[in-house]
Structure 1
Amino acid sequence: MISIRVICLAVLAGILRFVACQQTNYSCVVKQSQANTTEKLSKLRARMRSLSLYAYVIFSEDEYQSEYAQQYDTRRAWITGFLGSAGSAVVTLDQAALWIDSRYWTQAENELDCTNWLLMRQGEPNVLTLDDWIASKLKATSSYNKVGVAIQLTSSDYWSSTKSAVTLRDVPLVEVAELIDEIRITDRSMASSNPVFVHDIMFAGISWEKKVEIIAGLINVESTDGFLVTALDEVAWLFNARGSDIPYNPFFKAYAFVHANQTTRLWMNESQLTSDARTQLRNVIIQPYEEFLLDLYKLASNTDVNRIWMTRSVSQEILDRIPANKRFIAGSPIERTKAIKNPTEQKGMRDCGVRDSIARVRHLIWLENEINNNRQVNETQAAERLEYYQSLEAYFKGISFPTISAVGAHAATIHFEPNAETAAQITRDEVYLLDAGAQYLDGTTDVTRTHTFGTPTTEEKKAYTLVLQGSIDLADAVFPVGTYGRQLDILARQSLYKNFMDYAHSTGHGIGHFLSIHEGPSERRKLEEIIDQRFPDASDIYNSKTNSASNNIEQPIERPVDPSGDPSVSNE
């Protein structure tokens, strides 16, 4: 039988255009909305000189490589002024640069302190990668010739690739403390430590003990002694527990280890557990969070432990605790197992999708009525009203990402976040883009729609039609088991290609079950198979004049075996 994964498609398309081949493809235009980072950079560079560093790398992610970080961990946003959820920065003694993909270019032009920072448009012609840019700036003969990285925030995969790049210049990559934390004396909230509660089996479908049994079986297949769990969504899924330490995600900070014999360890702040959660996890060995690294070192040093399974996303700080001959680095057994939704999870995703749709319809009726009665509604007010309607639905636990409520030119910013000070009024004359989702106990949603309350232009109608054609082509696809995402990608793009349009990012991504809005391992432009997955199918065109978006959730389902005996899949 074909099992089911859930995937969210976000197809964002823009008119194909040619850009000048400059290092950054970006001209600095100073705006009031941009941050002033001069003083922050001065303090950071002073600290760098004291350590003989020429360059220092700053990431968006926390120690878990989370997509969203609590305010306590927003180091890259603090030093750059750019508030988008993704991007990496490098500060040298004389320059500073930020690397972001096409989703954030317009947002960065409005937020990044362009008098102090270079905007590196990732993926554009002649734009160096972060590693290559660092390597091109280094001089081994300089007294300041080291590249510093905070290893607790650096994935082992990144550490390895960057070390290779700078070694070619005879420059050392060195482990340093988190320098942003050292200079960020004020303007930093306390770390979140909220209650951790049980995700009831009526929503989860199977017990945490059964999940451990499944993962332990995979551990034994690989002849390893255990799997180190470092991703927060995997910890939450494994133990049927949820929290609220991370914005938009029901996670709590913790690490775990599953032994081949099904013994399970959990490092966390035990005081966060509710009484029900404490009872549910009574057979788990719970250890203090702050003792994790020492405990891991002791575990890896045990002569009875020969191989520890971990992923490439573990931090370099964690990897350093495990001898090289005991490391087994491969994709997470939890990630793939979690992506295959059980029948209870499948039903929950359908049910919460219906309730979320009710909220969207109520919101649209309200918004249309306000506009027709000439009452002013801006982007922020519209987003807040949608969240209100979502909160009226059963099992609502919050929104699943910052609501993208954007009118007119604002919709050209793919991840636009409205704020009360700059929010534009929604009118009959411009299209209105609404990309929003919610967390419910029985699932997670992500829906995008483009609305017009007047008469759309010929160009807008054409854009919307092309987007719709791509969505229909993808939704109507029938494909054999084993098909890869890259093979289906053309279906979403072919109508756009015919009209010289395209979008610069992936067509789809996984979506969690009351977990992450973006969930691995599948993505519709990568090598992962597409079978058994649910997709919000979205096609969007964004530019300053024409904006169109559509986003639906699809679930590939098993079809009757054809006469040849080969199984195939279609989208529901």
Structure 2
Amino acid sequence: MALEKIKSLRALMSSLALDALIVPTADPHQSEYLPDFWKTRAWLTGFTGSAGTAVITKNHAGLWTDSRYFIQAENELLPPFVLHKLKKRTPEYLAWLLENLEFGNTLGIDASLFSADEVEYFNAILAVKQIKVQAVGDVFEKLWTNRPPLVNNPVFIHDEAFTGKSRVEKIEKVRSQLINKKATHHLLSALDEIAWLLNIRGNDIEFNPVVTSYCLVSHHKTLLFIDAQKLSNPILETLNTDGIFVQPYEDISQILQQLNNKHVLWCNKAGLNHALFGQIDATCNLISEASIVSQLKAVKNPVEINHYKQAQIRDGVAMCNFLHWLEKTMLKKQMVSELDAARQVMLFRQEQKNYMGPSFNPISAYQANAALPHYSATVKNNTMLKPEGIYLIDSGGQYLDGTTDITRTVALGPVTNEQKTNFTLVLKGHIRVATTTFPEGTKGIHIDTLARLDLWRQGKDFGHGTGHGIGYFLNVHEGPQGLSPSSQGPGDTVLESGMMLTNEPGFYLKGAYGIRIENVLVCKPGENTGFLQFETITYCPLDKNLIKTELLNEQEIIWINNYHQNTYRLLKDKVSDELKSWLQEKTSPLY
């Protein structure tokens, strides 16, 4: 099948005089999760991972992805695609193109799927051999005959009781920064930023309650570019009352063309797609910096934080119900698969107040499958659980009052001494991050190191960041903050009070098992002026059967006991008597 697709694609490339074509994992809004319509790379290559880039030339078809997906790509890639393993998360395929294309060749891209900064970088790198980067539009429009349609789901309002601030207040904060920068307009293209600013939500992308749209804020009005069919009359009236005026989604190009040398447009070239950037009038003055909304959204207000803690309590109840169910199932030696377990954890969440759906597809992974950090159980690879070894469940929920993300690794029966040792090393790193105090101005890269120290001492490590920002009834992965070993992107962001991040170190032994422990943290002022600290706001027991207490120091044991005591205190009155007894045992002191 893939051979036929490549054959048809190469014929189309020939008609367009292309020597190569890049197929990214992207949509016009640079979203992490994609609408089915834009999953062109997956359709072409067979690889379903959430990160990867395909490159097709006249005689080669390759896929570049990072270490999180090596095994998955090896299992899923269809001939004739060849896996290229990224050494770093950078566009190494450009170096390959530079080496393999001829002087003066033409490289095709869909300019709506690459940021303006990316295309500028492409041109700079490939200029050495005068390789031309040619925008060719959506070539899959002709090739993908049964392509899923773009969805047109309705918009709903995220009530101010949950958001803590009105859309008018938020827009005024944006305008204040516009005035300070002497800018006249601010263009938003990231869907979660628009949803946050206007207190609207939708269902245009699976797992992410966002709405396909653009937004342009000026000193006196706000324009929302959206398919008006998504908006009911009451919502349209509410937006108009608040000074937000709706225009057709496609009109964004026309409005940008009308800007001139009297205007100063603030836009994020790292997130704005190149095709739309090209519509901005050449005389318009530009400020190319990170979106104002990105930073405002990252720092949660007290109302959001208080609501979020309540959502986490309910999520903790769901997780305890799931872990209790799993334990009973294993003791009875009933047949249960990874997919069964994934469905069950979602069913327990559905019982909770304000639940709107999962925040991502659960990672339900037994033994060797858990060695793949982004493993996805399917009908083809679905594995039966056994009352032995370890099981990893990484899951989360979307609630009106928060977005959750939690990972627990549990023993289903007898485990090895090695597994317990490595679990405890991961736990020590988790605790070090959770308990650290750090000066204001500290960046995520500095905290990331703390999670790895005990593993490093044993010659071990894990191949992903320690944590990511998390949205508030928005995207489960939210920037700009993160705990990452990279000096660019999230790892380079200064941490601030009110930011929320995950704390999820791990260890993965290929072909054997994987371990990860994940809680959500909120950053808050420390006890000393000028310092910050974290508060753990995920409430679910850690599996004591995997802990080697002899590897823990006194402070680590105190932290575990206190964490469990707090979990029991918050959940005990919200569960059944049977679950309460189970919870009491699971949260009892180590000693």
TM (normalized to structure 2)? 0.86
**Following superposition of structure 1 onto structure 2, how do residues 174-193 of structure 1 map, counting pairs within 5 Å?**
174-186=134-146, 188-193=147-152
Name the aligned partner's letter for residue 531 of structure 1.
Answer: E
Alignment partner of 1:96 out of 61, 66, 91: 61
Aligned-partner Cα distance in 2 for 1:500–1:464: 15
The question of whether the paired residues in 2 share the 8 Å contact of 1:55 and 1:148 is answered with: yes
Deviation at 1:426, TM superposition (A): 1.0
1:408 corresponds to 2:371? no
Alignment of 1:535-554 (within 5 A): 535-543=501-509, 544-554=511-521
Aligned-residue Cα RMSD (Å) equals 1.6
Deviation digits for residues 42-82 of structure 1, max 9, x if unmatched? 10000001111110011111100001111111111111111
Which one-letter code corresponds to 1:163 in the other structure? N
Confirm or deny that 1:429 pairs with 2:388.
yes
Partners of 1:124 and 1:85 in 2: how far apart? 16
Q: Is 2:230 aligned against 1:272?
A: yes
> Is residue 293 of structure 1 aligned with residue 258 of structure 2?
no
Amino acid across the alignment from 1:290: E
Contact 2:41-2:53 at 8 Å conserved across structures: yes
Q: Where in structure 2 are the equivalents of 1:338-357 lying within 5 Å?
A: 338-357=297-316
How far apart, in 2, do the equivalents of 1:469 and 1:76 lie?
Answer: 39
Stretches (4+) displaced over 4 A: none
- SS at 2:208's partner residue? coil
2-structure distance, mates of 1:423, 1:54: 40
- Unaligned stretches of 5+ in structure 2? 485-490, 536-591
1: CA distance between counterparts of 2:30 and 2:125?
Answer: 22
Structure-2 residue corresponding to 1:171: 131
Does residue 506 (structure 1) correspond to residue 465 (structure 2)? The answer is: yes
Match of 1:245 in 2: 204
Superposed, 1:143-542 pairs within 5 Å as 145-186=105-146, 188-259=147-218, 261-282=219-240, 283-298=243-258, 300-301=259-260, 303-324=261-282, 326-525=285-484, 526-532=491-497, 533-542=499-508
Q: CA deviation at 1:422?
A: 2.6
Provide the secondary structure at the position in 2 that maps to 1:522. strand
Task: Tell me the amino acid that sits aligned with residue 374 of structure 1.
Answer: K
Q: Secondary structure at the match of 1:328?
A: strand
CA distance in 1, matches of 2:112, 2:297: 26
Which residue is 2:589 aligned to?
none
Shift of 1:207: 0.3
Q: Deviations over 1:202-227 (max 9, x none)?
A: 11111001000001111111111111
Task: Give the counterpart of 2:22 among 38, 53, 57.
Answer: 57
- Aligned mate of 1:555, from 516, 522, 545: 522
Question: Which shifted more, 414-423 or 371-380?
Answer: 414-423
Deviation at 1:128, TM superposition (A): 7.8
Partner of 2:100: 137
Distance 2:70 2:468 in 1: 20
CA-CA distance at 1:310 after TM superposition: 3.4
1:29-52: CA deviation from partner (whole Å, max 9, x where unpaired): xxxxxxx41111110000001111
Letter in 1 for 2:502: P
CA distance in structure 2 between the partners assigned to 1:335 and 1:514 by the alignment:
15
Give the distance between the partners of 2:112 and 2:459, measured in 1 at CA: 44
CA distance in 2, matches of 1:99, 1:154: 16
2:534, 2:13 → 1: CA distance? 53
Query: CA-to-partner distance for each residue in 1:150-203, whole Å, 9 max, x for gaps?
Result: 1111111110111112111112111112112221122x1221110100000011
Q: Aligned partners of 2:518 and 2:91: how far apart in 1?
A: 33
CA distance in 2 between counterparts of 1:152 and 1:128 reads 18
Q: 1:441 to 1:547 in 2, by over 3 A?
A: same
In the TM superposition, what is the alpha-carbon distance from 1:324 to its structure 2 partner? 4.7
Distance, in Å, in 2 between the alignment partners of 1:556 and 1:376 is 42
In 2: Cα distance, 1:128 partner to 1:328 partner:
25
Q: Kindly tell me: are residues 131 and 442 of structure 1, through their superposed partners in 2, closer, same or farther at Cα, counting changes over 3 Å?
A: same
Q: Distance in 2 between matches of 1:309 and 1:221?
A: 15
- 1:379 Cα shift? 0.4
**CA–CA separation in structure 2 for the residues paired with 1:570 and 1:376:** 44
Query: Structure 1: which amino acid aligns with 2:534?
Result: N
Q: Which amino acid aligns with 1:286?
A: V
Structure 1 residue identity aligned to 2:523: P
Q: Secondary structure at the match of 1:185?
A: coil
Q: Are 1:122 and 2:70 matched, yes or no?
A: no
- Secondary structure of the equivalent of 2:478? coil
**3-state SS of the aligned residue for 1:139?**
coil
Q: Which moved more, 1:61-70 or 1:321-330?
A: 321-330
Structure 1 Cα separation of the partners of residues 267 and 367 of structure 2: 49
Query: 1:85: Cα distance to partner?
Result: 1.3
In 2, Cα distance between equivalents of 1:309 and 1:151: 17
Deviates most, 447-456 or 500-509: 500-509
Q: In the alignment, residue 279 of structure 2 is paired with which amino acid?
A: R
Q: Distance in 2 between matches of 1:306 and 1:364?
A: 55
Contact 2:366 2:513 in 1 (8 A): no
> For residues 262 and 501 of structure 1, what CA distance do their matches in structure 2 show?
56
Q: 1:376 to 1:520 in 2, by over 3 A?
A: same
Matched residues in 1 for 2:266 and 2:279: separation? 11
- Paired with 1:230 and 1:425, the residues of 2 have a C-alpha distance of 43
SS at match of 1:165: helix
Counterpart CA distance in 1 for 2:305 and 2:234 is: 25
Q: Which has the higher helix share?
A: 2
Question: Would you say the 8 A contact 2:466–2:502 is kept in 1?
Answer: no
Please show how residues 3-42 of structure 1 align to structure 2 within 5 Å.
36-42=1-7
Matches of 1:421 and 1:310 in 2, distance apart? Answer: 41
Can you give the 5+ residue segments of structure 1 that lack an aligned partner in the other structure? 1-35
Q: Is 1:567 aligned to 2:530, yes or no?
A: yes
Q: Distance in 1 between matches of 2:527 and 2:425?
A: 31
* 1:8 corresponds to: none
The amino acid of 1:542's aligned partner reads: Y
Higher relative contact order (CA 8 A, sep 6+): 1
> Which amino acid in the other structure matches residue 17 of structure 2?
S
Contact 1:241 1:277 in 2 (8 A): no
One-letter identity of the residue aligned with 1:271: Q
Q: Quick one: structure 1 residues 99 and 569, their matched pair in 2 at CA, closer, same or farther if it must change by over 3 Å?
A: same
Structure 1 distance, partners of 2:455, 2:267, is 43
Instruction: Tell me by how many angstroms 1:306 deviates.
Output: 3.7
- Note if contact 1:459-1:546 (Cα within 8 Å) is conserved in structure 2: no
TM-score (norm 1): 0.89
Q: Deviations over 1:514-554 (max 9, x none)?
A: 01111111122221112322232112111222321100111
- Partner of 1:60, secondary structure, is coil
Distance in 2 separating the partners of 1:68 and 1:84? 10
CA positional deviation for 1:509: 1.2
Counterpart amino acid of 1:168? V
- Give the aligned residue type for 1:140: F
Question: Structure 1 pair 443/262, CA: closer, same or farther in 2 (3 Å)?
Answer: farther
